[in-house]
Amino acid sequence: MILVVYDITDDRVRYRVAEILKDFGLKRIQKSAFIGELDIQERKDLVDILSRLIKDDSDRIDVFFICQKDLRLHKKIIRKGIFAELL
Protein backbone atom coordinates (compact mmCIF):
# COMPACT_ATOMS: atom_id res chain seq x y z
CA MET A 1 0.00 0.00 0.00
CA ILE A 2 1.02 3.57 -0.57
CA LEU A 3 -0.17 6.69 1.25
CA VAL A 4 0.40 10.09 -0.35
CA VAL A 5 -0.14 13.29 1.64
CA TYR A 6 0.55 16.72 0.21
CA ASP A 7 0.54 20.41 1.08
CA ILE A 8 0.73 22.54 -2.06
CA THR A 9 0.02 26.27 -2.25
CA ASP A 10 -0.80 26.63 -5.97
CA ASP A 11 -4.38 25.54 -6.74
CA ARG A 12 -3.53 24.34 -10.25
CA VAL A 13 -0.60 22.20 -9.06
CA ARG A 14 -2.66 20.84 -6.15
CA TYR A 15 -5.46 19.89 -8.55
CA ARG A 16 -2.94 18.27 -10.93
CA VAL A 17 -1.45 16.19 -8.10
CA ALA A 18 -4.92 14.96 -7.10
CA GLU A 19 -5.73 14.04 -10.71
CA ILE A 20 -2.46 12.12 -11.09
CA LEU A 21 -3.12 10.20 -7.89
CA LYS A 22 -6.61 9.30 -9.10
CA ASP A 23 -5.18 8.26 -12.48
CA PHE A 24 -2.92 5.83 -10.61
CA GLY A 25 -6.01 4.36 -8.98
CA LEU A 26 -5.47 5.78 -5.51
CA LYS A 27 -8.48 6.57 -3.33
CA ARG A 28 -8.93 9.96 -1.67
CA ILE A 29 -9.24 9.61 2.12
CA GLN A 30 -8.81 13.30 3.01
CA LYS A 31 -8.68 16.48 0.92
CA SER A 32 -4.93 16.11 0.46
CA ALA A 33 -4.41 12.41 1.18
CA PHE A 34 -4.73 9.36 -1.06
CA ILE A 35 -4.13 5.66 -0.47
CA GLY A 36 -4.03 2.55 -2.63
CA GLU A 37 -2.04 -0.35 -3.97
CA LEU A 38 0.72 0.12 -6.53
CA ASP A 39 3.37 -2.26 -7.76
CA ILE A 40 7.06 -1.35 -7.57
CA GLN A 41 7.23 0.18 -11.05
CA GLU A 42 4.06 2.21 -10.52
CA ARG A 43 5.48 3.56 -7.24
CA LYS A 44 8.69 4.60 -8.98
CA ASP A 45 6.75 6.23 -11.83
CA LEU A 46 4.47 8.08 -9.41
CA VAL A 47 7.34 9.45 -7.33
CA ASP A 48 9.11 10.55 -10.51
CA ILE A 49 6.02 12.34 -11.86
CA LEU A 50 5.19 14.01 -8.54
CA SER A 51 8.76 15.19 -7.99
CA ARG A 52 8.56 17.21 -11.21
CA LEU A 53 5.48 19.12 -10.02
CA ILE A 54 7.02 20.76 -6.95
CA LYS A 55 7.96 24.34 -7.82
CA ASP A 56 7.58 26.29 -4.58
CA ASP A 57 9.94 25.81 -1.61
CA SER A 58 6.97 25.60 0.74
CA ASP A 59 5.30 22.77 -1.22
CA ARG A 60 5.59 19.22 0.04
CA ILE A 61 4.48 15.74 -1.01
CA ASP A 62 5.02 12.84 1.38
CA VAL A 63 4.85 9.26 0.09
CA PHE A 64 4.59 6.49 2.66
CA PHE A 65 4.86 2.79 1.91
CA ILE A 66 2.68 0.80 4.30
CA CYS A 67 2.76 -2.97 4.73
CA GLN A 68 -0.47 -4.92 5.24
CA LYS A 69 0.47 -5.69 8.86
CA ASP A 70 0.70 -1.99 9.71
CA LEU A 71 -2.40 -1.19 7.69
CA ARG A 72 -4.43 -3.58 9.84
CA LEU A 73 -3.56 -1.39 12.85
CA HIS A 74 -5.28 1.62 11.27
CA LYS A 75 -8.08 3.28 13.24
CA LYS A 76 -10.49 5.73 11.68
CA ILE A 77 -11.96 8.11 14.23
CA ILE A 78 -15.20 9.90 13.47
CA ARG A 79 -17.84 11.57 15.61
CA LYS A 80 -19.77 8.34 16.20
CA GLY A 81 -16.75 6.31 17.36
CA ILE A 82 -13.73 4.38 16.16
CA PHE A 83 -13.84 2.18 13.09
CA ALA A 84 -10.99 -0.18 12.15
CA GLU A 85 -11.35 0.17 8.41
CA LEU A 86 -9.44 2.08 5.81
CA LEU A 87 -10.68 1.10 2.39
Rounded-to-integer distance, Cα 46 and Cα 34, Å: 12
Topology at the third CATH level for domain 2-83: Alpha-Beta Plaits (3.30.70)
pLDDT in tens, 44-55: 999 999 999 998
0.75 cut: is pTM over it? yes
Report domain extents, the chain.
2-83
Q: How many angstroms from the chain centroid is the CA of residue 27?
A: 8
Question: Which DSSP state fits 17?
Answer: H
CA angle 7, 11, 16 (to 5 degrees): 85
Q: What is the pLDDT of residues 8-44, one digit of tens each?
A: 999 999 999 999 999 999 999 999 999 999 999 999 9
Q: What CA–CA distance (Å, rounded) separates 10 from 24?
A: 21
